[in-house]
Amino acid sequence: TTIPQKTEVPEVYDSIEDTLLLPEGVTLVYKKYETGNSFVDETDGYLTLESPEGKVLLIIRFDLLNSKEVAQEIDMLQDNIVYKMIVDNKVINAMFTIVGNDLTHLIGSLQPEESKEVLMFAEVEEALLQSCKSLKVEFSRQDMVAEIIIK
């Protein structure tokens, strides 16, 4: 019988930009979070995400900012980045959606000094969110971990 090892939580977190392999001058800034039973993609208008019964969509909004005077290429699919939301210490993997500005699969370029809103989605048990005392987003890649504490 194997006894599960306790996972060590890093004392020092890596920068979000290093963990996400963002180009120099590009930063990810948390804006707000919201919940709901559905989400309509504003860039498409036809795509709607719906939460299953007993769950709600947790939508986290960020701005991806390019402070440089040159365009920067963004590729969020590189190097197996893991995107998680942690609600009261319960880990919930981010959904991989076909929403055009979903952070988890964003590929494209940011023009000089451009800001683009990007989103992360998760399906969360409604009861868990109603009693939520803590909420954070965690990004990890290889042995790097970065987090944003929201609540």
Q: Quick check: 88 and 133 in contact, CB under 8 A?
A: yes
d(CA 107, CA 94): 17
Q: Give this prediction's pTM.
A: 0.86
Q: Is the pLDDT of residue 6 over 90?
A: no
Q: Is the pLDDT of residue 4 over 50?
A: no
pLDDT in tens, 10-47: 455 789 999 999 999 999 999 999 999 999 887 766 78
